[in-house]
Amino acid sequence: MKQRQKKLWLFALLIVALFLFSACSSTDEDAGTDTKGGETEDQNDANEEENNGENESATNTGGDLNIAVSAQPPTLDAHMTTATVALDVSRNIFETLVAANENHESTPMLAESYEISDDGLTYTFKLREGVSFHNGQEMKAEDVEASMNRWLGLSARAKTLLEGSEFVATDDYTVELRLAEVASDTLDIMAGQGQFPAIMPKDVIESASEEGVQEIIGTGPLMLDEWKQDQYVKLTKFEDYAMREEPSSGFVGKKEVLVDNVYYHIVIDSATRLAGLQTDEYHLADSMPYDNYEILLNTEGVETHVLLDGSLNMFYNKKAGMMADPKMRQMINAVVESDSVMRASFANEDLYILSNSFMNPEQVNWASNAGEESYNQNDPEKAKQLAEELGYDGEEIRMLATRDYDHHYNASIVIKEQLEQAGFNVSLEVYDWPTLLQKRDEEESWDIFFTGTGYVTTPSQLLVLSKSYAGWPDDEKADQLLDEIRSSLDHEDAKEKWDELQAYLWDDYVSSTLFGHYTRIIGASENIEGFTAFEGIIPWNVSIKE
């Protein structure tokens, strides 16, 4: 319509002098179709009015955003999966009462606000009004009640950490969480990503089977359009999305979809993902191999995003064998020189950081350097002294690793060399990943195994403290400190207790040795604007350049 109006206008102006015609056409917001992409990004404030017009013509507020991911989602039922690719897709479809901002702080999303009772046992959530599901139904408290109680029954962390709790709708826009006992980390548990507490319509929850919900319906800015197995998941813009007005931050704030559709292409082969990024078949490529990092950096038209993704560790068997003695674990930990381990595992110092924080070092509420004196010691002499005190006489230290994950295997090779150079007798058994998982459940069969661990939102969820996880920590002081953290109603007090517990885990108990924190590599075409990464690819607020 604008183009037609423009033609009529220009026709009427043919009798006007040529310079007047040019001046008029330059003010039309649809003019400038030959504007070179990228020129408007760095314009100064003096040309703000002109910039606004140029930006509108240089950016396509529609089209298809194409993302290459490395695996097929096992499900899009957010209550039932911890798979990274499933979470990356489903968090566009579903939203939660609270979610993490860019500082990993729990922040209202579908909740307008919340209050915590003086005794810490009741959380009252006021819901935002006028929020629509993808089926056109308004979100009400009964939907939240049904969704959250299903999550309490399915989520491994919720069943363990919020046992005996219940969500109750008290009116159309108010829901209470009634805890069985005080848990100061409740909001952080609710803001966690694995098996996240997605809000769905009540009837969808009630019709769900053991295999999951039958319909994928949420309140998010994108809705499921098509899932073609082993090829792609297609999401389309939800036109009636109830968007928050706060600035976008992590998983909260403004989520504006500037494209028509988002395709998650399932591209298992990393070379194909890279080639597709280089040829503009894909705008974004996730989980790129570490050995592709330099290639990505040197590929014209591609930007490389690196974000923290987890920690690399070795876990000790604290239930059986020689590592059941904490002094033996202190002995092994004293030998470790972490930078060599991380460099061998990730090749480039840009792809890891050295930090002894068991929590994400970027998580402002829980990151800690307590116990750092016992991290990255590189002190074989201290280890030899401890060995003498313990009467170590060359007994075999049995380690498990897998070649299925290069960083696991490379770390095991470096540690084996470090321990042998310090005078210890070490054997390394290498299995495929499924076999290793079986082997590590045999408490008499190993002393140390290597693995990477993803980030969690609270210390109570750490595998290093999980009694059911391989290694089987069981320590009265650690349990007491963790209970004090969870029962504290003051975060500063809880953080002080966590610092004390982390220091104890490093200096005395040594449940595991953390080597450092690794990253996730995302390649992004320069033909998109507004892209940010937070625990993965964020497709909202992204536009495609013409």
pLDDT at 82: 86
SS3 string, 213-249, reads CCCCCCCCCEEEEEEECCCEEEEEECCCCCCCCCCCE
**What would the pLDDT profile of 75-95 be if each residue is shown by its tens digit?**
999 999 988 899 999 999 999
DSSP string covering 161-210: HSTT-EEEEEETTEEEEE-SS--TTHHHHHT-STT------HHHHHT-BT
Supply the pLDDT for residue 59.
53
pLDDT > 80? residue 142: yes
Strand bridging mode 64-69 / 284-285: parallel
| CATH (residue range 309-519) | 3.10.105.10
Cα 20 to Cα 5, 25, 28: the distances in Å are: 18, 9, 13
Residue 12 pLDDT level (bands cut at 50, 70, 90): very low
Lowest mean pLDDT among 35-44, 348-357, 367-376: 35-44
**Quick check: 14 pLDDT over 50?**
no
Q: What's 138's DSSP letter?
A: B
Taking only the tens place, the pLDDT of each residue in 325-336 is 999 999 999 999
- CATH code of the domain made up of 67-301+526-545: 3.40.190.10
Per-residue pLDDT, averaged over 412-417, amounts to 98
The candidate with the shortest Cα–Cα distance to 232, out of 193, 274, 281, is 281
In sign, the C-alpha dihedral spanning 463, 306, 515, 312 is: positive
Q: Over 43-59, what HEC string results?
A: CCHHHHHHHHHHHHHHE
Contact 419, 427 (CB under 8 A): no
> What phi and psi, each to the nearest 5 degrees, are found at residue 419?
-70, -40
**Residue 40 pLDDT > 80:** no
**% pLDDT > 90, the chain:** 82
- pLDDT-based confidence at residue 60 (cuts at 50, 70, 90): low
Q: Parse the chain into domains and list their residue ranges.
A: 67-301+526-545, 309-519
Distance CA 78, CA 192 (A): 11
Contact 488, 505 (CB under 8 A): no
What is the C-alpha to C-alpha distance for residues 201 and 146, in angstroms, rounded to an integer?
8
Which among 225, 228, 172 is positioned nearest to 202, based on CA atoms?
Answer: 172
Q: What local confidence, expressed as pLDDT, does residue 2 receive?
A: 39
pTM: 0.82
> Which range, of 141-150, 402-411, 500-509, averages the lowest pLDDT?
402-411
Average pLDDT (500-517) is 98
pLDDT digits (tens, 9 = 90+) for 175-185: 999 999 999 99
The Cα-based distances of 409 to 23, 208, 291, 340, 428 in angstroms read: 67, 41, 15, 13, 10
pLDDT tens string 97-140? 999 999 999 999 999 999 999 999 999 999 999 999 999 999 99
Judge whether residue 216 has pLDDT over 70.
yes
Q: Identify the H or E element spanning 342.
A: helix 338-346
**185 in Cβ contact with 192 (< 8 Å):** no
- Which has the higher per-residue pLDDT, 23 or 543? 543
Average pLDDT over the chain reads 89
**Angstrom distances, CA of residue 103 to CA of 253, 350, 457:** 13, 21, 11
Task: Report pLDDT for 160.
Answer: 87
Give the HSE-up count for residue 537: Cα atoms under 13 Å, Cβ half-sphere: 29
pLDDT in tens, 356-408: 999 999 998 999 999 999 999 999 999 999 999 999 999 999 999 999 888 99
pLDDT of residue 389: 96
